[in-house]
Chains A and B, each alone.
Chain A
Amino acid sequence: MQTANPLRVDLGRGLVLDNPVGLASGTAGYGFELRQLTDLDAAGALYTKGTTRRSRSGNAPPRVAETTGGMLNSIGLQNPGVDWVVDHYAPEFARWRVPVIVNVAGSSVEDYVLCAQRLDGVAGVAGIELNISCPNIAHGLDFGRDADSAARVVSAVRAATQLSLMVKLSPNVTDVAAIARAVGDAGADSISAVNTYVGMKIHRTSRRPVLPGGTGGLSGPAIRPLALAAVAGIRATVDIPVVGVGGIVDVESALEFFAAGADAVQVGTINFVDPDAAVRIAEGIRDDVARRGLRHLTDLRRRGRRQPA
């Protein structure tokens, strides 16, 4: 079937993006700063800062440390809480053309469910991205660490909302594809992969970790080969849409994720360096698809999806 917009991405349950390039959670806040620096409405989606049931003031500084080809962060989910987001931010989101997908984090199934219920049916909220994998808060990683607990939280949230539900997976596990299968079976509409890798930087003179908690989440081009391998493994395992994220900095690196089987991508750390990055990459993909005469960007893949049994 001919698709009018070759960049259109259907992420399930009514969440349709005009183009596949979103701004990754934690690298775009709630959009208010980047809107002033770039044409955010030309991006495919905005994935908000991780949002929790109650506001969080975040971790003690220092919170970021640059590493070779990347950066470590330990922000600690500083956010104003879901009620503030619904009451004060969503009315703004509703005026924007870019779909806003609210990233939700929690430390109990109840936290996730309450956030999902609060966001359900709110104008301006296009979908939920479930963060079961934040490495920077106590217990934040737990749900993403094994297939059973991941499935438990996804099932509970699935029952609590009609919104399209994306689940963002942690790469800090033995078999990310097994967790992808579990969250797919539990009712996720799509999967984003990957969150940051647990990393450490040692201070040159003190010989102690730079980040007060010892470790942080590593992002940036340094993780791209790792993220691509994770995406390819997930693609081979599930049939729901996969959103690739990890170290994309330009059109070429975004196209690598489509080749690995992604249906859409998120651009993260590079937003800090170049506020225009996501929009420029979306335009570049549009040009590439047109130049190759492709019907749809999924034709960029070298191999098709696994055929359902």
Chain B
Amino acid sequence: MSTDLRRARLETGAVLEMERLDGGLIELTARLPHLAAETRPGEFAQLRCSTGFSPLLRRPFSVAWTEGDTCAFVFEVVGAGTALLAQLAPGDDLDVLGPLGSGYTLEVPPGRVLCISGGLGCAPFPILAAALRRRGVEDIIVLNGAATASRLYPAARFQRGDDGIRVIEATDDGTRGHRGFVTQLVAETLTSGTAAVFACGPNSMLVSLARLLMATAEAPAIGEASLEAPMGCGFGTCLGCALPVLASGRDRAWALCCSDGPVMAMRDVDWNGIEALPEPSVA
């Protein structure tokens, strides 16, 4: 009947660090004990960017990693909301609502797990890789792609000290790693023993990946992608973040990115419909 929000709550905590990485990426850490304790890999939080009413709406961000009562988010300045977030300093309050949405499946059969990241799609993978390792997954490969070397989220941040997590990089311009799209690395890393593929990135990347997996004879049983949509509330009430999904017997079907997703089984998504969506508008 409705979204399960029993773990979600409003929480205000102090910003601990604003770490400016190369290429405009910012890693924001804040003391948010509730979110840190409750969030699962792939879930997100709605961050309030302003203490006033402009910009009005919260902005959704995946939780990148947690440690103790600390949560990290990775973002770049794309509009008014992220510009304000970028001005936060250690000690400032951060007002969040979360955790929200559905995360990645953590119960995976034995075998390799591929995490495929494009650009800021890196965000959910540090927490996901760590959770999978705690569950005994031995073979995790992060395929990390970005436009250029400076915009690659650093490999060490996916690993967080765990050498068991391998990172293979690709850049559109060839400034580091494979020259080309990260999806071109899938063919050589997707073995018959691959148990799961987890993806997060721009729609164009996800569409390519979905088609590649559909054309693969022995695609893994688990294929999940974290999607994006302009959101109003983030908790299933405004119905603003509809995404096209496949359904039988109906001409159109929508799922809500915020509550049915953001992580969805790739086989359920209408990728032709996703491909037809316009580029997101920035407030």
Contacts and interface: CB of A to CB of B under 8 A. Distances in A.
B131 to A, nearest CB: 25
A28 B4 CA distance: 15
Contact of A62 (B3, B54, B230): B230
Contacts of A121: none
Interface string B1-42: 111111011100000000000000000000000000000000
B243 interface: yes
B84 to A, nearest CB: 13
B56 A221 contact: yes
- Chain A interface residue bracket vs B: 35 or more
B229 interface: yes
A196 B17 CA distance: 40
Contact of A63 (B56, B242, B283): B242
Interface stretch (B65-73, B119-127, B170-178, B248-256): B248-256
Contacts of B231: 64
B77 interface: no
Nearest to B53: A221
A64 B5 contact: no
Interface string B124-164: 00000000000000000000000000000000000000000
Given A61-B244, A62-B278, A206-B278, A33 B236 contact: yes
Given A37-B235, A73-B238, A61 B253 contact: no
B89 interface: no
Contacts of A64: 230-232, 238, 240-241
B225 interface: no
A78 B55 contact: no
B282 interface: yes
Contacts of B280: 62
B57 to A, nearest CB: 5
B277 A33 contact: no
B56 A66 contact: yes
Chain A's interface: helix, strand, loop or mixed, by majority?
A: loop
Nearest to A28: B237
Given A29-B236, A37-B9, A78-B239, A69 B277 contact: no
Interface string B79-116: 00000000000000000010000000000000000000
A272 B258 CA distance: 12
B247 to A, nearest CB: 10
Nearest to B58: A273
Contacts of A58: 239, 242, 254
A29 B282 CA distance: 26
A78 B279 contact: no
Contacts of A272: 57-58, 232-234, 237-238
Contacts of B241: 61, 63-64
Contact of B283 (A28, A67, A73, A88): A67
A267 to B, nearest CB: 13
Given A57-B252, A62-B281, A68 B54 contact: yes
Interface of B: 1-6, 8-10, 48, 53-58, 97, 229-244, 250, 252-254, 259, 277-283
Given A64-B241, A71-B57, A203-B279, 6 more contacts: A36-B5, A62-B277, A62-B280, A203-B281, A271-B233, A273-B58
A-B complex: 4 closest residue pairs judged by Cβ atoms: A32-B2, A64-B240, A66-B283, A272-B233
20 contacts: A26-B238, A27-B237, A33-B5, A37-B8, A49-B239, A60-B242, A61-B277, A63-B241, A64-B238, A69-B53, A69-B56, A78-B254, A89-B1, A205-B279, A210-B281, A269-B56, A271-B233, A271-B237, A272-B238, A274-B10
Interface of A: 26-30, 32-34, 36-37, 49, 57-71, 73, 75, 78, 88-89, 92, 201, 203-206, 208, 210, 220-221, 249, 269-276
